[in-house]
Amino acid sequence: MTSAVTPSLSVRDLTIRFGGHVAVNAVTADFYPGQLTVIVGPNGAGKTTCFNLMSGQLPATSGQVLLYGQDITKFGPAKRTRLGIGRAFQLTNLFPHLTVLENVRLVVQSHAGQGLNMWSVWFRHKELLARAEHYLERVSMQDRRHTIVAALSHGDKRKLEVALLLALEPDVLMFDEPTAGMSVDEVPVVLDLIHQVKTDTDKTVLLVEHKMDVVRSLADRIVVLHNGTLVADGEPAEVMASSIVQEAYLGVPAHA
């Protein structure tokens, strides 16, 4: 699909074995800017493992991961992040005892290459803060800027996580169940935010998601994994209606 546009992220015959078990089996797909793809499949289908292979948390047994055509298969997660693949990690990357603004500023600072250089940080402090404020505005959390992260609601933590991801300025954004554990009223806020990110900035967005209402509301495209194999890939209506998906994912016999 969308073949006139250059894919940002591609995987070719991507495979990983754990001993004798093939968790991801020769998966091939292209992902495009401005497109939100949701990866679905039953428990143990290989969705998270596939994400881990794309973001570099796991090394592939065989196959390739390409970013704008560059082979990044052998690169670790940090290098992939620098090249433009950003992943939200279900709150594990937040500093709970710092304020919301400090959390964003630290990411802005490290992304700006300031590292631990105290003098550059001193001279550019205002500029870095202004950029951090910008990302807080993107997620409508300016009013929480001086709140300690540990005191935020779960939904606000997830929004902050999106701000941190945006501050890395990735081309490809990966979310693993972004609404997991949220209250009913928090869910639409985060879904709107993810939708906005894709629409306003032409980013490539990848989601692993179980909740079908989330899949329906966000997906431009659905990829279905089953036993580590890609069994369907296409427009939501078409994929959801296909008998292979009804059977593999929804547990409905193909002839039902």
Residues that bind ligand ATP (CB under 6 A): 18, 23, 41, 43-49
Give the DSSP H/E element, type plus range, for residue 26. strand 21-31
Residue 163 or 219: the one with the smaller Cβ distance to ligand ATP is: 219
CB of 47 to ligand ATP, least distance (A): 4
Residue 41 or 170: the one with the smaller Cβ distance to ligand ATP is: 41
CB of 16 to ligand ATP, least distance (A): 8
At 160, is the secondary structure helix, strand, or coil? helix
CB of 153 to ligand ATP, least distance (A): 24
Q: Within 10 Å of residue 180's Cβ, how many Cβ atoms?
A: 15
Residue 57 or 246: the one with the smaller Cβ distance to ligand ATP is: 57
Interatomic CA distance for residues 133 and 201, integer angstroms: 18
Asked if residues 108 and 102 have their Cβ atoms less than 8 Å apart, the reply is: no
CB of 176 to ligand ATP, least distance (A): 8
Asked if residues 10 and 30 have their Cβ atoms less than 8 Å apart, the reply is: yes
Residue 38 or 45: the one with the smaller Cβ distance to ligand ATP is: 45
CB of 151 to ligand ATP, least distance (A): 29
Residue 44 or 77: the one with the smaller Cβ distance to ligand ATP is: 44
> What b/e string do you get for 197-215 counting C-beta neighbours within 10 Å, with b at 16 or more?
bbeeeebbbbbbbeeeebb
CB of 170 to ligand ATP, least distance (A): 21
* DSSP state letters, 161-188: HHHHHHHT--SEEEEESTTTT--TTTHH
Asked if residues 132 and 108 have their Cβ atoms less than 8 Å apart, the reply is: yes
Residue 3 or 92: the one with the smaller Cβ distance to ligand ATP is: 92
